[in-house]
Every structure is written in C-alpha cells, then in structure tokens.
Amino acid sequence: MNLDIHICPTNLLTQKQLQEIADLTTFCHRHDGIELSYPVEEEHLTHFLGYLADGRLAACLTLISYEETLAECCAFTHPEFRRQGFFSRLLDEAVSQYPDVDLLFAVSEDCADAIKTLAALGAEKDSDEHMMACDLNSWHMAQQAGISDGTIASHPFSLTQTSETEYTLFRSGILCGTTSAEPISQTTVCLHHVEVLPEFRNQGCGTAFLQLLLPDLAQKGFKKVILQVAGDNAPAIALYKKTGFSVTKTLSYYFY
C-alpha cells in the first residue's frame, strides 16, 4: 500500500514535536486505557515521526539503545490510522537504520491493538512485568504491628535515609537492605531495587523494610507508592501484596 506519509527521523525533538507527541500519546492513553509513556528525556534516543500530508502526526516510534545489539522500541499510532500500515512504515525505517539490532517491545496486555500488531509481526513474548501500587491514604498502621513476629521483635530494625532518594535497613545495627525511592510527582514516589542482602533473606527483613519505609514516605507527604516487579518473581510479589501493594497493570515484553 502506497501511504501518503512523511517520515521524519531525528535525535533531537523540537518543542513543536514534543507537543505533537504529547497530544498523540494522551489521546492513545484515553482511547486504550493505558499509561505507557513515550520517552523523550532519556539518552540515546532515535525518533521516527510519521506525518500525514496535512501535517498531522499519525504515529511516532522511538528506539532506546541499551547496547550495540539491543534497543527497546516504543510506539504510538493514532487509533484513526491503525491497521493502515503506518506503524509498519516507521518500523521498517527504524530497522533499515539499525539492521543488526534486536528490538524489545513493552506493551500493556490491556491494549489489544498492540498485541495483535506484534503477533502479526511474529514477535515472540519474552516476559511479563507487573506494575504495583500502594495507596498510603488507605494503608492502615495496624498492618505494621500485625505482621511483626518473634524474629523482628528480637532483632530491632531501623530505617536510615542516606540521601534524597536512598534508604537503608539495619537490623541490630547491621546493614541488611537498600532501596531507592524516586519521587515522580508531588504525591507519588516510585521504589527501585528493593534489595535485602542474601544472608538476611527469608528472615522477615523485606517485610520490616517496607513496614518502616511506607509510613516514612507518608509522613513526607506522599499519597501513593508504585513499583515494578518481574512477573516470575513470586516471592517479591507475595511480599508486596502482604505489605499493601496490588497489581495495577501488567506489561509484556516481546522480542522482534
């Protein structure tokens, strides 16, 4: 099909292009009920913008380079122009410029159009990631006392904030866990790399860590805590659910 579309590849977006992308992705979010973001601030980005003859942005695609042979691909197509080959044209252009790079797609399982498109491409599903959230307004302090056990009681835990975003957990003065809490808005913070040192695992340290950290974040004015966890990490998922988190959406990763 000979589509009347102009493809603009760029490594540096103009203010006009940033606004066009924001308008397109906002419309897609509302249409599909998803919250996937289009990266514009990360380093090593190559954008492919698909414009109609009248100047409207119909689709956008970007590659996030991780290494010489791997890049994550993120794309949005306006619902009005789906199943007309716009995404395929952008993808062909990206592949022509990076012929030896494997592409990794992250898509929401709630977006049927994206799943169908990847199936048509022959992309293979690799893994799932769960987005989880804890509403601190409805998080009851009674949980904290309710999950304490003899192990925790006999080895007092303490939480220390070592920088603006970094936290550490100590048990009887010995370091046993670390995490990063990155604010993404005035009311929401994202946890990264919640880690308990190997010699302290399966001893209640992860539970104690979150039960100390969540009220601390609430006192700082945050209303919501989010995190991302691998779909096959059953112990971590169980820990987060135990401490007040619930799955809000699932992202699936496909290789092409």
What angle, 0 to 180 degrees and rounded to 10, lies between the N-to-C axes of helices 205-219 and 234-242?
50
d(CA 110, CA 2): 31
Does 240 share its domain with 151? yes
Each residue's pLDDT tens digit, 67-79: 889 999 999 999 9
Q: For 122-204, where are the alpha helices, taking DSSP H only?
A: 141-146, 150-154
What confidence category does residue 240 fall into, taking pLDDT thresholds of 50, 70 and 90? very high
Does 172 share its domain with 238? yes
Does 21 share its domain with 105? yes
Whether 134 and 245 have beta carbons less than 8 Å apart is answered as: yes
Residue type, 163: S
pLDDT for res 143: 52
CATH number at residue 24: 3.40.630.30
pTM here?
Answer: 0.65
Percentage of residues in the chain having pLDDT higher than 70: 92
Percentage of residues in the chain having pLDDT higher than 90: 61
95, 122, 149 — which closes off a domain? Answer: 122
pLDDT for res 113: 84
For residue 161, the enclosing domain spans 132-249
Token pair of 186, please?
A: 């005035």
69, 103, 122 — which closes off a domain? Answer: 122
Whether 184 and 37 have beta carbons less than 8 Å apart is answered as: no
122, 157, 191 — which closes off a domain? Answer: 122
Does 61 share its domain with 15? yes
* pLDDT over 70 at 3, yes or no: no
For residue 256, tell me if it sits in a domain: no
Q: What is the mean pLDDT of the chain?
A: 88
For residue 171, tell me if it sits in a domain: yes
pLDDT for res 112: 84
Please give the full DSSP string across 81-118, using - where no structure is assigned.
GTTTTHHHHHHHHHHHHSTT-EEEEEEETT-HHHHHHH
Residue type, 52: L
pLDDT for res 145: 46
* pLDDT over 80 at 55, yes or no: yes
Does 110 share its domain with 147? no
Does 108 share its domain with 143? no
For strand 246-255 and strand 57-67, is the pairing parallel, antiparallel, or unpaired? unpaired
Q: How many Cβ atoms are within 10 Å of 37's Cβ, its own excluded?
A: 10
pLDDT for res 49: 97
Does 57 share its domain with 84? yes
Residue type, 98: Y
Does 75 share its domain with 137? no
Look at 45-54, 110-119, 212-221 and tell me which has the smallest mean pLDDT.
110-119
Token pair of 228, please?
A: 């991302």
Does 171 share its domain with 206? yes
Sign of CA dihedral 68, 74, 77, 83: positive
For residue 254, tell me if it sits in a domain: no
Each residue's pLDDT tens digit, 138-197: 765 545 445 444 344 445 899 999 999 999 999 999 999 999 999 988 999 999 999 999
Does 101 share its domain with 209? no
Does 86 share its domain with 154? no
Burial tier of 132 (Cβ tally within 10 Å: 0-12, 13-18, 19+) = buried
Closest C-alpha to 58, from 37, 78, 87, 30? 78
Closest C-alpha to 179, from 187, 188, 189? 189
The number of folded domains in the chain is 2
Closest C-alpha to 235, from 189, 194, 199? 194
For residue 97, tell me if it sits in a domain: yes
β-sheet bridge partners, residue 103: 71
For the chain, what is the largest distance between any 2 Cα atoms, rounded to a whole number of angstroms? Answer: 72
What confidence category does residue 250 fall into, taking pLDDT thresholds of 50, 70 and 90? confident
As a three-state string, the secondary structure of 60-81 is EEEEEEEECCEEEEEEEECHHH
